[in-house]
Amino acid sequence: MVRLARPGDPGPTSGADAPLPLVELTALGHGSGWSGPRFTGTALGPRLRHRSHTTGEHDGWTRLTVELHDPATGLTAFVELSSPLGLPVLRSRVRLRNDGPGPLVVQSVSSLLLGALPPPARLDVHRARNDWLAECRWYAQPLSDTVADISVDVHQHDSRAALSLTGRGSWSSGGHLPMGALTERDGARAWLWQVESPAGWRWDVGERDHGTYLALNGPTDAEHQWRVRLAPGDEFTTVPGVLALGSGSSSRPGSGPGSGLDDAFGALTSYRRAVRRPHADHAALPVVFNDYMNTLMGDPTTRKLLPLIDAAASAGSEYFCIDSGWYDDSTRGWWDSVGEWLPSSRRFPDGGIHAVLDRIRERGMVPGLWLEPEVVGVRSPVASELPPEAFFQRDGVRLVEQGRHQLDLRHPAARAHLDRTVDRIVGDWGVGYLKLDYNILVDPGTCGPGDLSPGAGLLGHAQAYLGWLTGVLARHPTLVVENCASGGMRMDGATLAVAQLQSTSDQQDPLRCPPIAAAAPTAVPPEQGAVWAYPQPTFDDDLIAFTLGGALLGRVHLSGHLDRMSAHQLALVRAAVAVYKTIRGDLSEALPFWPLGLPGWTDEWTAVGMRVRGDRTAYVSVWRRGGGGGEEGAEGVEGADSGGRGGRGGREDSGGSGVLLPVECLAAGAGREVTVEILHPSPRSTSLDSAGSAVSVASAASAGSAGSVGSAVWDEGGRGVRVMLPRTPGVLLIRLTATP
């Protein structure tokens, strides 16, 4: 029996190699070898025996494929292990082939199975709740809270307990991110993983042979109603499971500065860049203005858009996306009538939507449009024009969710309909940006012709959707696509590898955005993470700066009624955008870290950093929301209490207005001098040329010269930067530069 003995270097881990097979799977007639909620101990897995293996290096990857075979059923499993050269990341998937004489119905199969991790008593487990408007909320607990010490030696049996997490339905990251991590409580090591499934997924951790095991799965029969029938000669390939290792740069345990978890997130960020589809957008990072959030809110018209377009161009935007509503010609609302994707003549009476798109181009920006391609409203003529098999169905009945049908992208008529739509909008209209949204949840899936189970139908559609999107980008190579599903409800690795941008949230309260923006790099590289910045003319200067500052270490998605702002207010927006343009070249290769640890939802202080290759430059965004930690909402910010607790990884000063942010990547050298610059809020406006590009940038503030806005000073004794924010809400974007 072949097993994955241990991750990382050959040093000791748990003291024993866990006798787990490379693959665990269940099939009808071949269930578990013992009862319990954990995904180990199946009857089929241990029967798979080594038949051959191949190794090699190609295109910057090292690969190992192990062929396993079960003589009893004739099932052959190909375990495909790969790792990018120079990165402590392992990617695994399993391809099954039925070489037996009869059919085999598979109910579950692991993507990655690993034992020999430290015992549960030494580990904390990390998960990330991911709800609408409250994405990327990481939390931790001791693994022993779930997997208790039962005196294994006394019972001669491992615990049946396991901590498991499951994602269900067509929102791949609805409820939780398809990720998790283990960290050593008394050390710096971390094991971080993601399941690259655009549909269902599961992972579980538990005790095995005095150590801990990890099992990563795509959809299963028990949780997702997923089964596939493999006739003789048929194949099935699992979704990939990915494991990143972190060793940490200091002795700090857990999720604090310099920890192994930061290390692992950095490795996973580099891996995500290595596997995604190449695109010029990943290096250019253009500023996008979107008219939706806290602005037009799905009610675009020519009259409303033209002044907004002019103001967005003046502020330095390079793309302008018209969000939902541009197709709405009905007085009954558009929610249940979408699907044709033709422009409204009522909303664009003079020259149609083409006059608006032309205005965007005249102002030097690339036009964009919002689409929700997979849905067709029950009142749409498309609902009757396409064949019934082109939609999700169960027991021969077409599914309806919130007044919408769901297209099945495995059907050629569904794909042809969307191809015609995109080729018209992009090819004929000259639109260069598509925001592809998805606002319904289908669970467990579809049972169309040929589907054995709804979970298998859902996974098949989700993978076909990504195949369709890949084809669109091949036909239109300069097109930029933003993936959105009610914000971040489809924030999975499979989709991120195809789309250029990822919406991180629909949160409309600027005081609740910092923990989302700060934690978004755990799920998406900074150059792909779209973060809203929606300053309003009713905001005071502090709140305008606060709202803009949250997006400067990600992808700026500008919104807000810029057309109603005073010249002074618009200058504040223009200055922030100009600062972003001076640093975005660094973000496309930067790796994230969290000086205060991963943010809590109500923390008063929140921080995220980006370290640039070479570890001589780092950027840090730090927010202070006030004593309420975001509880008061945008309306209550002017009188916010200046007290409250500091960040979990730093040290707050006695007055509550300052905090020390450890920055280990710059502190790692004796005698190093570190220069501190405050880039945002800018001490003065930045000059712009007619195209909105930065010509000259104001001298950045340093060591407190930002005055009442705040200050930042390198603290050699604390090996970090000491930040003061005397007023709330407050934000600083800081650049730290170390001598060689």
Judge whether residue 709 has pLDDT over 80. yes
Judge whether residue 534 has pLDDT over 50. yes
Q: Phi-psi bin for 304: left (phi > 0), alpha (psi -120 to 50), beta?
A: alpha
pLDDT at 679: 98
pLDDT level of residue 116 (50, 70, 90 thresholds):
confident
The C-alpha atoms of residue 269 and residue 179 are separated, in whole angstroms, by 13
Judge whether residue 674 has pLDDT over 50. yes
Judge whether residue 697 has pLDDT over 50. no
Answer yes or no: are the C-beta atoms of 202 and 111 closer than 8 Å: no
pLDDT at 632: 41
pLDDT at 249: 55
Range in 146-155, 184-193, 575-584, 648-657 with the lowest mean pLDDT = 648-657
pLDDT level of residue 153 (50, 70, 90 thresholds):
low
| pLDDT mean over 588-604 | 97
pLDDT at 154: 64
Judge whether residue 654 has pLDDT over 50. no
In this predicted model, what pLDDT tens digit does every residue of 1-49 receive, in sequence order?
Answer: 898 887 766 555 444 566 789 999 999 999 887 777 788 889 999 999 9
Judge whether residue 130 has pLDDT over 60. yes
pLDDT at 152: 73
Judge whether residue 309 has pLDDT over 90. yes
Q: Which residues contact 327 (CB under 8 A, 6 or more apart)?
A: 334, 338, 340, 341, 342, 343, 344
pLDDT at 18: 62
pLDDT at 187: 77
pLDDT at 641: 28
Range in 284-293, 417-426, 659-668, 685-694 with the lowest mean pLDDT = 685-694
pLDDT at 256: 47
Q: Which residues contact 134 (CB under 8 A, 6 or more apart)?
A: 505, 507, 512, 516, 601
Percent of the chain with pLDDT over 90: 79
Name the residue with tokens 């993983």.
193
pLDDT level of residue 209 (50, 70, 90 thresholds):
confident
pLDDT at 718: 74
Judge whether residue 657 has pLDDT over 50. yes
Secondary element (H or E) of residue 588: none
pLDDT at 642: 28
Burial 34-53, CB ≥16 within 10 A → b, else e: eeeebbbbbbbbbbbeeeee
| pLDDT mean over 203-217 | 93
The C-alpha atoms of residue 370 and residue 557 are separated, in whole angstroms, by 14
Range in 264-268, 627-631, 659-663 with the lowest mean pLDDT = 627-631
| pLDDT mean over 384-407 | 98
| pLDDT mean over 369-383 | 98
pLDDT at 313: 98
The C-alpha atoms of residue 23 and residue 13 are separated, in whole angstroms, by 21
In this predicted model, what pLDDT tens digit does every residue of 542-595 receive, in sequence order?
Answer: 999 999 999 999 999 999 999 999 999 999 999 999 999 999 999 999 999 999
| pLDDT mean over 345-363 | 97
In this predicted model, what pLDDT tens digit does every residue of 323-334 receive, in sequence order?
Answer: 999 999 987 889
pTM (whole model) above 0.85:
yes
In this predicted model, what pLDDT tens digit does every residue of 423-451 receive, in sequence order?
Answer: 999 999 999 999 999 999 999 999 999 99
pLDDT at 281: 98
Strand partners, 736: 618, 676
In this predicted model, what pLDDT tens digit does every residue of 457-466 receive, in sequence order?
Answer: 999 999 999 9
Judge whether residue 238 has pLDDT over 60. yes
| pLDDT mean over 477-505 | 98
pLDDT level of residue 700 (50, 70, 90 thresholds):
very low
In whole numbers, what is the pLDDT of the chain averaged over residues? 90
pLDDT at 672: 76
Angle at 136 between CA 532 and CA 81, to 5 degrees: 115
Neighbouring C-alpha atoms within 13 Å toward the C-beta of 294? 21
SS (H, E, C) 533-567: ECCCCCCCHHHHHHHHHCCCCCEEEECCCHHHCCH
| pLDDT mean over 328-357 | 94
pLDDT at 433: 99
Q: What are residue 456's phi and psi, to 5 degrees?
A: -70, -35
pLDDT level of residue 671 (50, 70, 90 thresholds):
low
In this predicted model, what pLDDT tens digit does every residue of 607-633 receive, in sequence order?
Answer: 999 999 988 999 999 999 986 554 444
Q: Which residues contact 112 (CB under 8 A, 6 or more apart)?
A: 90, 92, 193, 214, 215, 216, 241, 242, 243
When mean pLDDT is compared over 24-38, 49-63, 717-731, the highest value belongs to 49-63
| CA-based nearest residue to 707, from 683, 676, 734 | 683
pLDDT level of residue 150 (50, 70, 90 thresholds):
low
721: its two tokens: 């930067």
pLDDT at 455: 98
Name the residue with tokens 């099992």.
215
In this predicted model, what pLDDT tens digit does every residue of 510-526 receive, in sequence order?
Answer: 999 999 999 999 999 99
Range in 48-57, 308-317, 655-664 with the lowest mean pLDDT = 655-664
